[in-house]
Every structure is written in C-alpha cells, then in structure tokens.
Amino acid sequence: MIKKTLLFFCGGLLLLATACKHSIKPEALYGNWKYIKVDKPRGDAADTVSAMDLEEQKPEISFSAEKQLVIQWGGKVLSHGTFVVAGDNINYTEQLPDGKTRTFPFWVSKLDDKNIVFETLDKDGSRVTAVKK
C-alpha cells in the first residue's frame, strides 16, 4: 500500500512539473517589439548597448503570422528570415546576403503581452529586453 501511495505521489509530482514547463505560443510574439535594453550576461559588460544608443538607433524585432522575423537597427533591416517556436526557444533561420542561411535559437526567459526577454546562448551572447509597440 505504501509503495502504491508513494508511486502515485511521485507520478503526480512529475505530471505537475511537466505541466508547468514554459512554452511559447507563436501568437504571443506577433507584432513589433522595441528594444529597451541589450546586455551581455556572459560577456564583456563594456559591450552593453547604452540607453542613448537605443534611443538614437531605435532597434526593434518584428514577428509575423507568416513566421517572418525582421530585426531593424537605425531604421534599416539588420537581419531577416523565418522562425519557428520550439518550447521556450525561437529557432531563427537568418537569410544571409550570399543566399545562404544560418539557424540558431533565441532562448525566451520572459514573454507576456507587453514584454519579452530573449537571448542567444553562445559565450558572447546578447540578452534583449523589449516592449510591445
């Protein structure tokens, strides 16, 4: 009897833990997001983008229902491509100027109807905090 109770309890805990896993819904991304902070959590703090630069350059990221992603910086397209959502990652396939592509994840640590925080996870990765426009 104790074994059954313990097994049931452990199974319930496992179910609860997996049910609470963070998962992004693509619809929550759609629209334009204005960058308000860019920093390097694992890199050189001197590479952090200043508030003045952000105000001047007005960077933003846009996600469309057609799974298009566009990053603008200084009024120009800095990067563009497509995206798919996988758990708490946005897998971005960037279109490069030579016609090639590269794919990498943005890990999303926060997403609600007004704010997003995402980052690349390489050793020099950047973390972006943005607000919905």
> Would you kindly state where each structural domain of the chain is located, as residue ranges?
23-132
Please write the tens of the pLDDT for every residue from 50-109.
Answer: 999 999 999 999 999 999 999 999 999 999 999 999 999 999 999 999 999 999 999 999
Is the CA virtual torsion 34, 39, 40, 44 positive or negative?
Answer: positive
Alpha helices, H only, the chain: 2-19, 26-29, 51-57
Of 22 and 110, the structure prediction assigns the larger pLDDT to 110
Q: Which residue has the tokens 């708490």?
A: 88
CATH 2.60.34.10 fits 23-132, yes or no: no
